[in-house]
Structure 1
Amino acid sequence: MRLFFSRFALLAVLTGSGLAQTAGYDPRLTFSPLTLPDPVNSYRSSNGAPGPQFWQNEASYEMHASIDTAAKVLHNDEIITYTNNSPDALTSLWIQLEQNTYRKDSRARIASGGGRRGRRGAVDAAPVVTTSEGYEFESVEIVSGKTSVKADTLVSDTRMQIRLAEPLKHGGVLKVHMKYHYAIPGVWGGRTSWGATKTGEIYDMAQWYPRMCVYDDLRGWDTLPYLGAEFYLEYGHFDYYVTVPSNFIVAGSGELVNTKDVLTKVEIERLEQAKNSDKTVYIRKPSEVGDPASRPKQDGTLTWHFHMDKTRDVVFSASPTFVWDAARINLPEGKKSLAMSVYPPESVGPDAWDKSTEYTKDTMERFSKHWFPYPWPAAVSIAGFSSGMEYPGVVFDGVEDKGPFFFWLTAHEFGHTWFPMIVGSNERRNAFMDEGFNTFIDIEESAEYMGGKYGPKRDGEYSAGGEPPDTILKVLDNPDAGTLMMPADSYPMQLGHPISYFKGAYGMVLLREQILGPNRFDWAFRKYIKDWAFKHPSPSDFFRAMESEGGEDLGWFWKGWYLNNWKYDVSVDKIEGSVVTITNHGQLVLPTPVEVKFTDGSKTRVTLPVETWMTKGVYTWTLENKTPIASVTVDPDHQLPDDDRSNNSKTN
């Protein structure tokens, strides 16, 4: 979801600000043995990879949806095919009902004091009074062959339990058939919405269908309610059909299967041209919006059919006002995908949505080369009213987005393709594995696109000089700040982004650039991504993977940065001849560069390894060079999160 940061801004925000700890340094605490939260077993191996008996259930969907544009209601006929690959016999199924978050009695509304949580940890300044009844079911049935039986259901907030007459055994397959409708949220809907542009309405449809909860080896059914933090979903195959007025364009996750039914001959030809073009090609031009000739029929409805394999979710957007363009994405090993953008005519501009497909193409190609190949047939950027949200194959951005901000937004939201769309971590429990990892990798796109045209990446709230506001510094110095391991919804509103995004990303910067080095880090992180593509890793899996392939015992770092909020504070205390005394005041330790300048103008640098502090908090360093010392500075490049820089340097 929306929020961006540069590596330099991460350093600026976190350097000079501490995270609370008890006073004094105790090496017995930092270097004590670490037991990770999730144990090693036959499902999850000691090297951080899936174990020899790893299993994962599958949920596939067939859906036939339609939008009543007059009543602003979505109707859907849905069949879930659920496969139990677990060793357990399941006596019930749990299904997520996120549209119920808009009910007056939802946990999300009560937890937020009557408002709604439109973004993780952020509550509207004033309560939003608009509500809906959530999902209204016409039927919920269990299907066996040609027989359908009414399901025994229990709805609890944003979840529904289906109690089974017979347990679903290992290897068993079950179908759930549901018919329902719900009122589509307006702009107040946050991640899903409809709203009006100057030339027509746009419907951004997300969390639009009941979805299986995950049943895994860690907790069984994971049924955290939808309060505002994002998602945890099973992978499967999707066929979905969307019926809308014939003058609408629909853009969605996956591949449009029936182009001959919903596009004109000219549009089909342009689409084929775009599939082989590195330059952006219009499928529907701005001048053609509103022109009846740009649609294959002039009245009634059309049904758009999309297919997507090996995905955890699908979304779509529908509007009569869409301009549509596309270009080829070049992937490793000669494979290809398609970058596409849809947006209203008012979004057209050389510094705005004219660039969307170019930004999308570049982002997907760069991340595919560096981390893991993009796996799906299209990547679609959509301008609408659910701005700054990401889904498999689709991102929702804003109608008015433009300039450097629009570039950063595109890179960030499509960066989520890798975390958590490919690597399917649990966003509701472990936000740093979603937002932190993605904020870390999307720095790369800003640094490299057109030679760094939009680098270094800055958050939209930052000044031109990149100076962080005092509010961010105060948040990060808050003794009540939670750890990175806290559930995403548990952060107070002012702490969620600084911790999960910024601290999460900065931890990765430290791990890559200061602790392991790029060579070891990239090798280990790529293996982690490959091992857990389309699977569900836990934080413990990530920690073990980086240790095993990175070749380093990192328990001291996991404890200090992730499991606790320990601060780092190293000082230069004394210079006596060629002897320098350096003290560690914080509980967090890091490899620490030290620069010594001599009176003859020469200088030297060493990096104190973390082992320097294994038994003591004071280090006495006797230099071999006996030239008189002019000054000594720890962390001379300000790369580390030192809590007090006033004691980092000493002049002789």
Structure 2
Amino acid sequence: MIFIFGLAGQVQAQPASNYDQHKAFDPTFMSEPGTAFRGGSGAPGPLYWQNRADYNLAATLDTTQHLISGNSEIHYTNNSPDALHYLWLQVELNLFKKGSRGSYSGNVPTTAGGIDIQSVEVTQNGKTYAADHVITDTRMQVRLQQPVKPDGGKITVTVKYAFHITKNQFRLAMMDSKNGAIYDVAQWYPRMCVYDDVRGWNTLPYQGAGEFYCDYGDFDYKVTVPANMIVAGAGVLQNPEEVLTKTEIKRLDKARQNDETTYIIKPEEVGKPETRPIQEGMLTWHFKMENSRDVSWAASKAFIWDAAKANLPEGKTVLAMSVYPEESMGENAWSRSTEYLKHSIETFSADWYPYPYPVATNVGGPVGGMEYPGIIFCHWSINKPKVMYFVTAHEIGHNWFPMLVGSDERRYGFMDEGLNTFIDIYAHEKFNHGEFGPKRDGEFDPEGKNPARDIVPFMTGNNTEAIMNYSDVMLQKNGHMLNYYKTSLGLVILREYILGHDRFDYAFRTYIDRWAYKHPTPEDFFRTMNDAAGEDLGWFWNEWFYQTWTLDQAVTGVHYANGQPEKGSLITLTNNNQMVMPTTVKVVESNGKTGEVKLPVEIWQRGGTYLLKYASTSSIDSVIVDPNKQLPDVNPKNNVWTNDTKLSGK
């Protein structure tokens, strides 16, 4: 009692901080009760529902006009409790049409002319009719003669369309290579908008920065191309005997059993007549993909093709493949693509959740880093091993977020980019004993040596923003820092510093398992992590994702009990800014003894000053807050106290 009373006056002498504990521990944050659709625990509720869209697609590639014409037949099931009097579809290729909303950003090419919708038909209750439809930018409304009944009502929408593919589009494009043109084809068919329990129809326009939000379903699609071309498509090829040679089929069978990369088409075979079952005319490639949210494909006669087996938990396997032109060959480039793809799939599957599709393909072509279920597009010109691994791992990692866990990435880019970047970090560290690690995605320190401190210039800058903003609303220069870097860094801090590996990993896996093939919101993620980790992390989610607060923890005084250090010390800590974190304090005594104290975030619940009672045995040489530099402290100078400072009571 004498020890405490003797030092009480020292507390009042500390300078006031800019911290308000009532904002940090806001009782109203995320306080809305759960519903029958989405529980307070973050799990889908007992009445959770989502609609379903199954597709029969057909497309023909005209390589003379660079024209793709197609037919999109959508079998839509309304599992909602609402009757739907109209449907909304995405026609995202209209982004490239002159005057599109996205074109006014100044970064979208408008030479392709958008999508030509030639006809829209509806089949409903046994009747087929030409549908009344209205196209607004990248959305199309189909107005129905009768509503689609709730709780399982069905309707079929058939759209005929065509569009040109050009060299200057993004996320889909064409290019010339030494041995022929390469086409990366995505966003290539009209598809359903999502109708959900949160907003009803999700009709945000496609403007480029925000990506996609799609329902799940089965895809049966056919791509017709010149006979001399190879098609790499998402899903499982249904007619290999029609589009491949016996040699290629045999090599594929070998690759499915082999951990080493096997050529399906060797570099010296590219373009040779013996690689194709027929020499002239057209061939139709038929693919199927189950329980997916999208499909994409690529086509070229210039493809080298290799493959290997990727191993999943419980003895399961998938086929990992790469296709790329001759210009991309090399051990520093695409010749190791399948090795990188295989490792990424195996690591993500072992750590978090098994890879969800039978095949994974990496395409070397004009598109520089874009992800789709079961297939990824990476730029043909990558020629540095670390970059090749990073891009491959990141793009295939999107098959967990958002392909498996189907978040709305048009609104919340962090839910796919940030969570994916987070799992990338640990995959990088594991590959070949850290050959390409560390991976921290930093802008201010590209080597990733100090990721938490690297982000401080951004967090303290004049143009910083909150993560919880639409991607199309963020300043373009901030998109990467917020959606990728700050999000992933926050999860690293949560795993390494706040919860620990075991609690974090259990909660993170619970989130994936709960929301696999479903549509979580940010709050579903936050609530699940709270629930499964057994920790109310509202203070963390609020400050890291919703606010632009900064952290400034400091040591502001050291005092001895009755002037005798061997009887104990009182260390004054302050939280000067609005962000809070648990606090780690390292103490070094003059007798050589070193101690470390980990204090919970609750020390800041009653104000910005905390007195740490430390059982010292000699005078203290130094006190350091956050000694391992794990937190984004904006003023590290006040994190260190040394005995050069005058000690009160010494």
Q: Report if TM-score (shorter chain) is over 0.5.
A: yes
Q: Which residue of 2 aligns with 1:36?
A: 30
- The SS at the match of 1:386 is coil
- Distance in 1 between the 2:125 and 2:551 partners? 63
Q: Which residue of 1 aligns with 2:258?
A: 277
- Distance in 2 between the 1:115 and 1:591 partners? 42
Q: 1:77: Cα distance to partner?
A: 1.3
- Equivalent residue runs for 1:391-470 within 5 Å: 391-402=372-383, 403-457=385-439, 459=441, 465-466=447-448
- Distance in 1 between the 2:39 and 2:90 partners? 30
Q: Note closer, same or farther for the CA distance 1:334–1:232 as it changes in structure 2 (3 Å cut).
A: same
Q: Which residue of 1 aligns with 2:123?
A: 143
- Distance in 2 between the 1:292 and 1:460 partners? 48
User: Partner letter of residue 164 of structure 1?
Assistant: L
Q: Which residue of 1 aligns with 2:541?
A: 558
Greater C-alpha Rg:
2
Q: Which residue of 2 aligns with 1:249?
A: 230
- The SS at the match of 2:400 is helix
- The SS at the match of 2:514 is helix
Deviations 1:537-586 (A, max 9, x none): 00110111011110111111111111111111111111222221111101
User: Partner letter of residue 48 of structure 1?
Assistant: G
2:595 counterpart (593, 604, 615): 604
Q: 1:34: Cα distance to partner?
A: 3.3
Deviations 1:308-354 (A, max 9, x none): 00000000000000010111111111211100000001111122111
TM-score (norm 1): 0.92
- The SS at the match of 1:568 is coil
1:641 aligns with 2:632: yes
1:191 aligns with 2:174: no
Q: 1:92: Cα distance to partner?
A: 0.4
Q: Note closer, same or farther for the CA distance 1:554–1:473 as it changes in structure 2 (3 Å cut).
A: closer
1:623 aligns with 2:614: yes
Q: Which residue of 1 aligns with 2:496?
A: 513
- Distance in 1 between the 2:629 and 2:399 partners? 32
Q: Note closer, same or farther for the CA distance 1:580–1:521 as it changes in structure 2 (3 Å cut).
A: same
* Aligned residues of 1:420 and 1:427 also touching (Cα < 8 A): yes
- The SS at the match of 1:176 is strand
1:216 aligns with 2:196: yes
1:226 aligns with 2:201: no
- The SS at the match of 1:409 is helix
Q: Which residue of 1 aligns with 2:523?
A: 540
- Distance in 2 between the 1:259 and 1:159 partners? 36
- Distance in 2 between the 1:355 and 1:243 partners? 30
Q: Percent same amino acid among aligned pairs?
A: 49
1:338 aligns with 2:319: yes
Q: Note closer, same or farther for the CA distance 1:493–1:49 as it changes in structure 2 (3 Å cut).
A: same
- Distance in 2 between the 1:224 and 1:108 partners? 11
Q: Which residue of 1 aligns with 2:269?
A: 288
1:67 aligns with 2:47: no
* Aligned residues of 1:485 and 1:562 also touching (Cα < 8 A): yes
1:133 aligns with 2:116: no
| RCO comparison, higher one (Cα < 8 Å, 6+) | 1
Q: Note closer, same or farther for the CA distance 1:588–1:48 as it changes in structure 2 (3 Å cut).
A: same
Q: Which residue of 1 aligns with 2:470?
A: 487
Structure 1: gaps (5+ residues):
1-21, 117-127
- The SS at the match of 2:631 is coil
1:159 aligns with 2:143: no
Deviates more, 1:377-386 or 1:475-484: 475-484
Q: Which residue of 2 aligns with 1:49?
A: 43
- Distance in 1 between the 2:302 and 2:269 partners? 10
1:310 counterpart (281, 291, 294): 291
- The SS at the match of 2:543 is helix
- Distance in 1 between the 2:432 and 2:600 partners? 37
Q: 1:30: Cα distance to partner?
A: 1.0
State the aligned residue count: 616
- Distance in 1 between the 2:534 and 2:321 partners? 41
Q: Note closer, same or farther for the CA distance 1:37–1:505 as it changes in structure 2 (3 Å cut).
A: farther
| RMSD, aligned α-carbons | 1.8
User: Partner letter of residue 316 of structure 1?
Assistant: W
* Aligned residues of 2:471 and 2:479 also touching (Cα < 8 A): yes
Q: Which residue of 2 aligns with 1:26?
A: 20
Q: 1:462: Cα distance to partner?
A: 7.0
User: Partner letter of residue 274 of structure 1?
Assistant: A
Deviations 1:447-491 (A, max 9, x none): 001111111126497777557999976443224422111111110
Q: Note closer, same or farther for the CA distance 1:464–1:57 as it changes in structure 2 (3 Å cut).
A: closer
Q: Note closer, same or farther for the CA distance 1:341–1:537 as it changes in structure 2 (3 Å cut).
A: same
- Distance in 2 between the 1:557 and 1:446 partners? 26
Q: Note closer, same or farther for the CA distance 1:39–1:312 as it changes in structure 2 (3 Å cut).
A: farther
Q: Which residue of 1 aligns with 2:11?
A: none
User: Partner letter of residue 72 of structure 1?
Assistant: H
Q: Note closer, same or farther for the CA distance 1:330–1:302 as it changes in structure 2 (3 Å cut).
A: same
Q: 1:147: Cα distance to partner?
A: 4.1
Q: 1:146: Cα distance to partner?
A: 6.3
User: Partner letter of residue 132 of structure 2?
Assistant: D
Q: Which residue of 1 aligns with 2:76?
A: 82
- The SS at the match of 1:422 is coil
2:343 counterpart (349, 352, 362): 362
Q: Which residue of 2 aligns with 1:264?
A: 245
* Aligned residues of 2:229 and 2:299 also touching (Cα < 8 A): yes
- Distance in 2 between the 1:27 and 1:621 partners? 18
* Aligned residues of 1:37 and 1:540 also touching (Cα < 8 A): no
1:99 aligns with 2:80: no
Q: Note closer, same or farther for the CA distance 1:23–1:385 as it changes in structure 2 (3 Å cut).
A: farther
Q: Which residue of 2 aligns with 1:585?
A: 576
User: Partner letter of residue 601 of structure 1?
Assistant: G
Q: Which residue of 2 aligns with 1:351?
A: 332
- The SS at the match of 2:65 is coil
Deviations 1:370-411 (A, max 9, x none): 101111110000000111111100110011113211011111
TM-score (norm 2): 0.92
* Aligned residues of 2:413 and 2:471 also touching (Cα < 8 A): yes
- The SS at the match of 1:420 is coil
Q: Which residue of 2 aligns with 1:632?
A: 623
Q: 1:23: Cα distance to partner?
A: 7.4
- Distance in 1 between the 2:615 and 2:449 partners? 40
- Distance in 2 between the 1:557 and 1:84 partners? 37
Q: Note closer, same or farther for the CA distance 1:565–1:462 as it changes in structure 2 (3 Å cut).
A: closer
User: Partner letter of residue 327 of structure 2?
Assistant: E
* Aligned residues of 1:462 and 1:468 also touching (Cα < 8 A): no
Q: 1:47: Cα distance to partner?
A: 1.3
Q: Which residue of 1 aligns with 2:646?
A: none
User: Partner letter of residue 89 of structure 1?
Assistant: A
